[in-house]
Amino acid sequence: MAVGAALVFEGGPGLSYESVRERLTARLHLIPRYRQKLVEAPLGIAGPVWADDEDFDLDWHLDHATLPAPDALRDYVGREMSRRLDRSRPLWELHIVDGLAGGRVALVSKMHHALVDGVAAIDVSTVILDPSPEPLDIPPPDEPWSPRAYDPGAHIARLAATPFVRAQQLAMDTALRALDTSPRSAADDLRKATDLLVELARQRPQAPMTPLNEPLGPDRRYATARADLGAIKAAGKAMGGTVNDVLLAAVAGMLARYLPAGESEPVALVPVSIRLEEERGEMGNRISMVFVDLPTDVDDPAERVQRVSAETRALKGSAAVRAGGLIAGATGWVPPAVSSLLVRAMGGVRAHNIVVSNVPGPQQPFYLNGSRLLQASPAVPLNPANQRLTVGILSYDGGVSFGLLADRDLAPPVGEAAAALDAALAELLGGPT
């Protein structure tokens, strides 16, 4: 369940291990969660809490590698996304990877989804980058960092009060999402929302069984595709859809080519950020989700966009989005037993075939120690049970990057899915197919 990205930079002396380490050291105080780890409550009677890592060592979270061939970055990302993060330490890693074509250097980041959602991951990345070749002058903290020891007694003492404190926050969050909730009724609303989300999945026709939904192994492969954001915007305007509609239509075109002929319409689980503007920069998750039927049976690209657009318009503001948003807002105070019941309930429903996650990134160039960030390709974690392919989408500086993370044994292999996506994008954007 790690969120990852491959950030490719122009080469330069500012991308050596020592230089990157120096930059992180200077700005680590801006990302306090990077020095915290998860600590379990005694006897498992509550969810884990974030606590300072008293043995924090930055070098445990940094690595350096040289590729054996200039085009081997995707293989490197696949291998790194196969490794589980060390749960006894802060849940992130950063790899400095050289040996790319043209002297370019990549930073491969990896953060557990408990630490960030996609939007927060972008915010974290921009903390260590600069909006110009000249590094920002960021003052150091007033005092050197000193870890606070974990107090299990304080953790237990908070149990009685926590539901009420969280309920108040939940009430404010959900009011802003057009839900009528009060602290007194928050627990009952949470139960109803959980029931609703599960029931929505159960009432839908079960997603078709496809090669994407076989049991997972432990290893991953990774592939990428790219498109021009301006061309995608123009296609959406011409075809009567949004940028997101065009991106989902491209995934539908990919699956129409990739899946065996005659497959029923696959279903995409599409995370929707419900992070408020004033919450930008906060860690944690602020997401909801919707199910979108992908029109793989439609040959005309314009009609495919229109079909997707009609469905996404109907879903906006639906009870499903609001229910999912309530659950995301409550994450952290739901007792572990309740959380596990929800996971098991959803696990018994094949509600979707693929996850498609689109995160809008900054539309200006960023730099690290004077070297320009050229592109950023995301990696979205796979469902632990039976979902063998995810499509992460990230826009940056006029381009759109697609990252396809797959089970190593996915057949046909993920490279063929990426080739099918390239063809679908060319068809939508008017290029050669």
User: pLDDT value at position 128?
Assistant: 84
User: pLDDT value at position 144?
Assistant: 87
Residue 332 has pLDDT above 90, yes or no: no
- Can you tell me the distance from the alpha carbon of 380 to that of 406, in angstroms, rounded to the nearest whole number? 9
Residue 163 has pLDDT above 50, yes or no: no
With contact defined as beta carbons under 8 Å apart, do 382 and 214 qualify? no
User: pLDDT value at position 31?
Assistant: 81
Judge residue 205's burial from the number of C-beta atoms within 10 Å of its C-beta, 0-12 exposed, 13-18 middle, 19 or more buried: exposed
- Can you tell me the distance from the alpha carbon of 328 to that of 333, in angstroms, rounded to the nearest whole number? 11
Average pLDDT of the chain is 78
- Can you tell me the distance from the alpha carbon of 193 to that of 326, in angstroms, rounded to the nearest whole number? 7
User: pLDDT value at position 289?
Assistant: 66
- Can you tell me the distance from the alpha carbon of 304 to that of 300, in angstroms, rounded to the nearest whole number? 6
Residue 384: pLDDT band (50, 70, 90) is low
Lowest average pLDDT, out of 46-50, 210-214, 342-346, goes to 342-346
Residue 179 has pLDDT above 50, yes or no: no
- Can you tell me the distance from the alpha carbon of 168 to that of 188, in angstroms, rounded to the nearest whole number? 13
| pLDDT tens column, 336-369 | 334 444 444 455 556 788 989 888 888 889 999 9
User: pLDDT value at position 39?
Assistant: 86
Catalytic residue chosen out of the listed positions 29, 113, 155, 352: 113
Return the SS3 of 46. coil
Residue ranges of alpha helices (H) inside 240-291 are 243-258
DSSP state of 16: S
Residue 139: pLDDT band (50, 70, 90) is confident
Domains and CATH numbers, the chain: 2-155 (3.30.559.10), 181-358+383-429 (3.30.559.30)
User: Could you tell me which residues come within 8 angstroms of residue 135 by beta carbon, excluding any fewer than 6 positions away?
Assistant: 23, 369, 370
DSSP structure string for 115-178: TB-HHHHHHHHHHHSBSSSSPP--PPPSS---PPPP-HHHHHHTTTTHHHHHHHHHHHHHHHTT
Cα 24 to the center of its chain, rounded Å? 22
Of residues 179 and 243, more confidence is placed in 243
Question: What amino acid is encoded at 319 in this protein?
Answer: A
Lowest average pLDDT, out of 159-173, 224-238, 259-273, 352-366, goes to 159-173
Of residues 99 and 164, more confidence is placed in 99
Lowest average pLDDT, out of 5-9, 26-30, 382-386, goes to 382-386
Structure tokens at 312: 């996404």
| 131 bridge partner residues | none
Q: Would you tell me how many other CB atoms lie within 10 Å of the CB of residue 193?
A: 22
What is the mean pLDDT of the segment spanning 294-299?
94
- Can you tell me the distance from the alpha carbon of 186 to that of 170, in angstroms, rounded to the nearest whole number? 7
Residue 143 has pLDDT above 60, yes or no: yes
- Can you tell me the distance from the alpha carbon of 109 to that of 379, in angstroms, rounded to the nearest whole number? 10
Residue 153 has pLDDT above 70, yes or no: no
User: pLDDT value at position 264?
Assistant: 77
Residue 204 has pLDDT above 70, yes or no: no
User: pLDDT value at position 45?
Assistant: 59
DSSP state of 91: S
Residue 329: pLDDT band (50, 70, 90) is very low
| pLDDT tens column, 8-31 | 999 999 999 999 999 999 988 878
DSSP structure string for 322-352: HHHHHHHHHTTTS-HHHHHHHHHHHHT----
Active site residue 61: no
Stated pTM of the model = 0.81
User: pLDDT value at position 278?
Assistant: 54
Of residues 149 and 147, more confidence is placed in 147
Question: What amino acid is encoded at 67 in this protein?
Answer: L
Q: Could you tell me which of 373, 413, 375, 421 has the C-alpha nearest to residue 394? A: 375
The CA-CA-CA angle for residues 397, 403, 407, to 5°, reads: 170
- Can you tell me the distance from the alpha carbon of 51 to that of 37, in angstroms, rounded to the nearest whole number? 6
Of residues 153 and 415, more confidence is placed in 415
User: pLDDT value at position 167?
Assistant: 36
Tokens 């990549």 label which residue?
Answer: 106
Lowest average pLDDT, out of 50-54, 113-117, 404-408, 413-417, goes to 113-117
